[in-house]
Amino acid sequence: MSRLEEREAALLALASRVVELAGRGESLEAYALHNVGTSVSAFEGAIERLTSAETLGVGLRLIVGGALGFAATSDVSDEGLALALAEARSNAELGTPDLGNVLPSPPTMLPEPVPGLVDGSLPDVPAARKVAIALELDRLTASLDPRVRRAEGVSYGDAATSVAVCSSAGVAASYSRTDAYAFVSALARSGDETQTGSGFTEGRGVDALDLTAAAREAVDRSVRLLGARKPATATVPVVLDRGVTADFLGVLADAFSADAVQKGRSLLAGQLGQRVASEIVTIVDDGRAAGSPGAAPFDDEGVATRRTPVITAGVLTGYLHNTETAAREGGAARSTGNAARGSYATAPGVAPTNLLLDHPGIDPADVLRMAGTGLYVQQVSGIHSGVNQVSGELSVGATGLWIRDGELAEPVRELTVSSTIPDMLGALLAVGNDRRWYPRGGSFAGCTVLIGAMTVAGS
Amino acid sequence: MLDESDVRDVLAAALASGGDWAEIYAERRDSTAIHLEDHRIEQLTSNRLQGAGVRVVKGTQSAYAHTNVLRRAALLDAAKAAAAGIAGDRPVSVADLTRTEPAVRHPARLAPHQVGKADKVAIARRCEEAAWAEGTEVRQVSVSYADVAQRVLIANSLGQLADTTRIRTRLAASVVAARDGLVQTGFEGPGASKGLEHFDEHPPEGIGALAAQRALRLLDSVPMPAGQMTVVLSAGGGGVLFHEACGHGLEADAIGKDNSVYSRTRGERVGSELFSGVDDPTLPGAWGSYEFDDEGTPARSATLFDHGDQVGVLSDRISAHRIGARSTGHGRRQSYAHLPQPRMANSLVLPGSDDPAAIIADVTDGLYCVELGGGEVKSATGDFVFGVNEGYLIERGELTRRVRGATLIGNGPRTLALVDAVGTDFELKQGMCGKGGQWVPVSFGTPTLRIASLTVGGTAA
C-alpha cells in the first residue's frame, strides 16, 4: 500500500470507530478528513516561506428524535472523540426536530470511483523540488518582458487529502485526491504607473504544472494594462474574460442551491420550467467532469456525485440538493450529490461540484468581433460585495481593455460595470470555445462570453 | 497547555541546524456556533480546535510546520521538519524564557463557558423574533451567534514567552424583505472582544430589528445613477474605505517589497491635512483588539497618517526586519495552521472639527453612504472598489431618494487627498478581513467624512 492508501484506510477505520459509539435511537455520522500539504512562497529570487501542514479532524452529525446536533474535534484520541460526542448530544437536545434531519441511506452500489484523482508520486516529491518550482516561476516571470522586472509574489502549493464518511445508516466510503498549483502575480511598471496581472497552473501533481504558461499569462495581463485610463460612462456590449465568467458562475452558484431556494434567498426560486437565460445558455453541475478540480466519487455525506443540468437552453431545469434539502421536499426530490462542507468542522450545506457552461462555443476572436465596440473585462474586483445574491443587482469594479472594430484596443481602469444577473443571463449572446477550470472557492469553468449590454461607469 | 521544558526543547530542536530565531505558537480554541433560519435551529455546533506550529526564521525567510497533536513527540517532529527548511551550519542556542506582560488586558466578565447552551440559543431566538416582528414584508430571517475562547501560548528562542486568552462574542442578523417582486437584504452584526456581557450593550432584539429595518428601507429605494460626484460617508460607515484604501497598502510586507502604492511616499504628505488615522489593537474590548499579537509582541497603537502626512506602517517581525524596523505588534494569524502576516486590528480615522449635519448641507449634488459593504483593493496600484449597502442621494444639501446598487471606485492616495471635511462624531463597526487566505476579526471606525469627488457605479439605466 502506498502512503496515501495507508492514510485513507486509517481514516476509514477512525470514522467507523466513531460510529460504533452511537447509542440506541441515535443516528450518527462521522466525516473524517486528513490533509497533508506543502506551500512555498518566493520573492525576488529567494524563498520566503516554506510550510509543511498536516490537518486531521472529524465532524460528528448526530440525530435523535429528528433533532440535529453537530460537534467537531481535531483531538482524535478516545477522550477527544468521547468529548465531541457528548457535545453533539447536548446540542441535539436543544435542536429543533425537522423533516430535513436525516442521514443518507447507503447506496445500493458503492459510488463508481473517479479515475485520475491521485498522482501517487506527490507525497514523495522532496521539498527541494517544490522550492525549485517556486523559484523557477519567479525567474520566468522576471525574464519575459522588460516592463516586468519582477513578480509581486509567487506561490506553490500542494495537498494530499483523504476523506472518509461512515454512518450508523450504513454508509462507509473513502477516497483520496492530490492537488498541486503554482500562482504568480506580475508587476508591470512604466514611469510612475504600476499594473498587476496574475497567472496560474494546476494539476494533480508537480509534473502537470506548466510554469512558462503561468508566467506568460501573468506578464501579458499586467503589461497590457499599462497606460490604462478611466473610460467615459456608457452602456455598451461587454466581453468577459474566461476567468471573469468563472467569477460570475461562482456568484450565480448559490442561486441553484435548493437550500437557498427553500429559504427564499435564491433569485431563481419559483422559476423551474421557466426561461431564465438566453437560448445558448446551458449550465451543468458535473461532479465527475474529466480534468476538473472539483471531481470526487461522492459528496461530503457519501452520496455518489453525478451530472445535473440546472439551466438547459435557457430554461431553469433543476436545483442542487443534498440529503437534507431533498428530504424537506417530502419525496419530490432526491439528493443530487451536492452536500458540501467548508471543512470537517462544519455540517454539510449545498454547493456545486464543478459548474460549467455547456456549449461547444466559437473562437474567442469571433466573440470580440461580434461585440464590435465595447468593453473587454479582464478582471473584476469587489464581486462578493458588489452583487446582491437575492435581488441579482450587481455593480463591480473592473479593469480591462476597450474593444474597437472587434479587436482589443486601449486599456481602461477605475470603472464599474453594472447590470442584474437575470439581465446578464438574458443578454448572453456568445460563448467562446476556450473553456478552462478555475478554482475560485469551488470549481468553475470559465470561457469568453459576450453580454449584449452593461452599464459602464467611468468619468 | 504546554510544559515549559518541552517548549525549550522544541525551540532547541528547531534551531539544531541554524537560523536567526525560532518560535512555537500553540492554541486551544473552544467555540460555539448557533445558526437560526426559517424559524428553526439550522445548526448548533461545538468545535474544539487545538494545535501548534513551529517556525524557524533566517532573515526574511521562514520555514513552518504544524501539528494538531499537542504532545512532546509530535512537537519535536514539527520542529525537525521546520529546521529542515532553513539551511544553516550550526545550532543556535535558546535564551531563558521570560513572561512578557501586555500593555492592556481585555477581560471577559461573563465567559462563554459560564453560560449554558440553552441560554445562548435564547439570545439568538430573541434576535430572530425581533426581526420577524418588523412586519409582513420580512420574508426570511437568519441569525448567527458565535462565541470563541482561544488560549494562546507563544514562545521564541529570543526568550519571550506570552500567554493570553482571547474571548470574542458576536451576534449577527441577516434579513430578506420583499415587496412586489423586489427583494432586498439587511444586515447587522456587532461583535466584541468580550464575553456575553456584550449583549448588555447590544441587546439581541435591537440587532434583529435593525437588520430588518435596513432590508425594509431598501424596498423604498431606487437604482443608483452612475457618475462622478461628491460622496459623504457616515460616522462608522466610511471605516471600510480607510481599511481597504489605506490600511492594506501600509502593511509592511507590501511596503517592504515595494508592492504598495504607498511604498515610495513614506514621510510625505499624501492625504488632505484634515486626515489622521491610526490602528489601535489596545482599544478596550473592541472586536479586533488583542493583548499580544500572534508573535507575542504586546499590542500598541500605530499612527499611520498625521494631518495628511504618511508616517507609519503596520508590521510583524519579518516585515519589520525587511524595512529595518521593530514590529509594531500587528503580526496576526487565523490559527496555528497559518504563518503570521502584518494585519490591521482596529483601524480608525480620528475625528475632526466639522459639524456632521453641515458636511451634508454643503453638498449640492452627491451621495450619502450610511453603510458600505465589503470591498477590495490592489495594494500595488491603490485601486479600490466597494459596494454601498445603504445610501441616499444628496440634492441641494438635503437627503432625498434612497438608492441601491451603488458602488464606489477610486484610488487610495488620490481619494485621501480629496477629503475636504471630517466630522466631530465617531462610530466603530466590525468585520472579518481576508488576506492571503487567512481571516481575522477587525474593527473600523470613522467620523463623518466627505470626499470631494469619486466615481460611483450604479444600476440605473
Spatial distance between the Cα atoms of A2 and A9, rounded to a whole number of angstroms: 11
Task: Give the full edge-to-edge strand order of the sheet including A443-446.
Answer: A315-316, A307-312, A283-286, A354-357, A443-446, A436-439
Percent of the residues in chain B that have a pLDDT greater than 70, as a whole number: 100
Of B41, B182, B380, the CB nearest to A152: B380
Spatial distance between the Cα atoms of A348 and A40, rounded to a whole number of angstroms: 31
Contacts with A420 from chain B: Cβ below 8 Å: 459
Say which residues have a Cβ less than 8 Å from residue B73's Cβ, sequence separation at least 6.
none
Of A51, A262, A389, the CB nearest to B64: A51
Q: What is the pTM of this model?
A: 0.89
Alpha carbon of residue B319 to chain centroid: 19
Of A48, A345, A393, the CB nearest to B459: A393
Does B98 lie at the interface with A, CB-CB under 8 angstroms? no
Q: Of chain B residues 178-207, which have a CB less than 8 A from chain A?
A: 178, 182-185
pLDDT for position A381: 87
Q: For helices B72-84 and B4-14, give the axis angle rounded to 10 degrees.
A: 20
Does B405 lie at the interface with A, CB-CB under 8 angstroms? yes
Alpha-carbon separation of residue A324 from A66, A104, A353, B11, B227 (angstroms): 12, 9, 17, 48, 46
Q: Of chain B residues 246-275, which have a CB less than 8 A from chain A?
A: 257, 259, 261
Contacts with B47 from chain A: Cβ below 8 Å: 71-73, 345
Give the angle A47-A49-A50 at the CA atoms, nearest 5°: 95
Does B6 lie at the interface with A, CB-CB under 8 angstroms? no
At residue A302, the 3 state secondary structure works out as coil
Do the Cβ atoms of A446 and A244 come closer than 8 Å? yes
Contacts with B374 from chain A: Cβ below 8 Å: 382, 384-385
Indicate the residue type of A284.
V
Of A56, A385, A397, the CB nearest to B373: A385
pLDDT for position B305: 97
What would you measure as the largest C-alpha separation in chain B, in angstroms? 74
Which chain A residue's Cα is nearest to B226?
Answer: A457
Of B78, B176, B410, the CB nearest to A264: B176
Digit-by-digit pLDDT tens for chain A (459 residues) are 788 999 999 999 999 999 999 999 999 999 999 999 999 999 999 999 999 988 899 999 999 999 999 999 988 999 999 999 999 999 999 988 999 999 998 876 677 889 999 999 999 999 999 999 999 999 999 999 999 999 999 999 999 999 999 999 999 999 999 999 999 999 999 998 999 999 999 999 999 999 999 999 999 999 999 999 999 989 999 999 999 999 999 999 999 999 999 988 899 999 999 999 999 999 999 999 988 999 999 999 999 999 999 999 999 999 999 999 999 998 789 999 999 998 999 999 999 999 999 999 999 999 999 999 999 999 998 887 778 888 888 888 999 999 999 999 999 998 989 899 999 999 999 999 999 999 877 899 999 999 999 999 888
Instruction: Say if residue B342 is exposed, middle or buried (CB neighbours under 10 Å; 0-12, 13-18, 19+).
Output: buried
Both ends of chain B: CA-CA distance in Å? Answer: 60
Do the Cβ atoms of B408 and B383 come closer than 8 Å? no
pLDDT for position A54: 87
Of A48, A51, A91, the CB nearest to B60: A48
A413–B383 CB contact, under 8 Å: yes
A416–B226 CB contact, under 8 Å: yes
State the count of interchain CB pairs (< 8 A) between A and B.
234
Q: How confident is the model at residue B461 (pLDDT cuts 50, 70, 90)?
A: low
pLDDT for position B379: 87
Instruction: Choose the mutation target among A33, A54, A79 for the interface with B, i.e. most B CBs under 10 Å.
Output: A54
Spatial distance between the Cα atoms of A16 and A30, rounded to a whole number of angstroms: 7
Of B78, B139, B405, the CB nearest to A418: B405
Helices of type H across A281-363: 323-328
Q: What is the ipTM of this complex?
A: 0.83
Cα distance from B431 to chain A (closest Cα, Å)?
13
At residue B100, the 3 state secondary structure works out as coil
Do the Cβ atoms of A151 and A191 come closer than 8 Å? no
Task: Match 522576471 to its residue by C-alpha cell.
Answer: A142
A388–B184 CB contact, under 8 Å: yes
Q: Of chain A residues 328-357, which have a CB less than 8 A from chain B?
A: 345-347
DSSP assignment, residue B247? I
Give the angle B188-B144-B221 at the CA atoms, nearest 5°: 35
Does B14 lie at the interface with A, CB-CB under 8 angstroms? no
Q: Is the dihedral of CA A376, A379, A382, A386 positive or negative?
A: positive
Which chain A residue's Cα is nearest to B74?
Answer: A54
Task: Report phi then psi at B227, rounded to 5.
Answer: 160, -175
Q: What is the CA radius of gyration of chain B?
A: 24
Which chain A residue's Cα is nearest to B70?
Answer: A75
Spatial distance between the Cα atoms of B372 and B388, rounded to a whole number of angstroms: 4
* Number of other CB atoms surrounding residue A115 within 10 Å: 10
Region B211-239: what's the mean pLDDT?
Answer: 92
pLDDT of B459 higher than 90: no
DSSP assignment, residue B251? B
B196 - beta bridge partners?
none
Closest CA to A264 of B133, B41, B176, B213: B176
Q: What is the CA radius of gyration of chain A?
A: 24
Do the Cβ atoms of B451 and B363 come closer than 8 Å? no
Does A423 lie at the interface with B, CB-CB under 8 angstroms? no
A457–B383 CB contact, under 8 Å: no
pLDDT for position B42: 85
pLDDT for position A106: 82
Of A43, A49, A187, the CB nearest to B64: A49
Which chain B residue's Cα is nearest to A91?
Answer: B44
Both ends of chain A: CA-CA distance in Å? Answer: 64
Contacts with B406 from chain A: Cβ below 8 Å: 395
Contacts with B30 from chain A: Cβ below 8 Å: none
Task: Report phi then psi at A140, rounded to 5.
Answer: -60, -40
Does A91 lie at the interface with B, CB-CB under 8 angstroms? yes
pLDDT for position B460: 73
Do the Cβ atoms of B407 and B375 come closer than 8 Å? no
B97 - beta bridge partners?
none
Strand pairing category for A234-240 and A193-203: unpaired
Does A70 lie at the interface with B, CB-CB under 8 angstroms? yes
Contacts with A187 from chain B: Cβ below 8 Å: 259, 380
Q: Of chain B residues 291-320, which have a CB less than 8 A from chain A?
A: none
Residues A34-57 pLDDT 10s:
999 999 999 999 999 999 988 899
Residues A408-453 pLDDT 10s:
999 999 898 989 999 999 999 999 999 999 987 789 999 999 999 9
Q: Which long-range contacts (CB under 8 A, 24 or more apart) does A21-27 make?
A: A21/A81, A21/A82, A21/A85, A22/A62, A22/A168, A25/A64, A25/A65, A26/A62, A26/A63, A26/A64, A26/A168, A27/A62, A27/A63, A27/A64, A27/A102, A27/A103, A27/A167, A27/A168, A27/A169
Cα distance from A363 to chain B (closest Cα, Å)?
31
Do the Cβ atoms of B440 and B433 come closer than 8 Å? yes
Grid cell in block for residue B459 = 444600476
DSSP assignment, residue A373? S
Grid cell in block for residue A255 = 442561486
pLDDT for position B155: 97
Spatial distance between the Cα atoms of B149 and A59, rounded to a whole number of angstroms: 19
Does B227 lie at the interface with A, CB-CB under 8 angstroms? yes
Contacts with A92 from chain B: Cβ below 8 Å: 44
Spatial distance between the Cα atoms of A195 and A147, rounded to a whole number of angstroms: 10
Of B41, B65, B139, the CB nearest to A95: B41
Grid cell in block for residue B42 = 439550522
Does A385 lie at the interface with B, CB-CB under 8 angstroms? yes
Which chain A residue's Cα is nearest to B319?
Answer: A48
Does A90 lie at the interface with B, CB-CB under 8 angstroms? yes
Q: Of chain A residues 278-337, which have a CB less than 8 A from chain B?
A: none
* Number of other CB atoms surrounding residue A140 within 10 Å: 20
Do the Cβ atoms of B288 and B344 come closer than 8 Å? yes
Cα distance from A93 to chain B (closest Cα, Å)?
9
Does B74 lie at the interface with A, CB-CB under 8 angstroms? no
Grid cell in block for residue B138 = 420580512
Q: How confident is the model at residue B152 (pLDDT cuts 50, 70, 90)?
A: very high
A397–B339 CB contact, under 8 Å: no
A48–B380 CB contact, under 8 Å: no
Residues B323-380 pLDDT 10s:
999 999 999 999 999 999 999 999 999 999 999 999 999 999 999 999 888 778 888 8
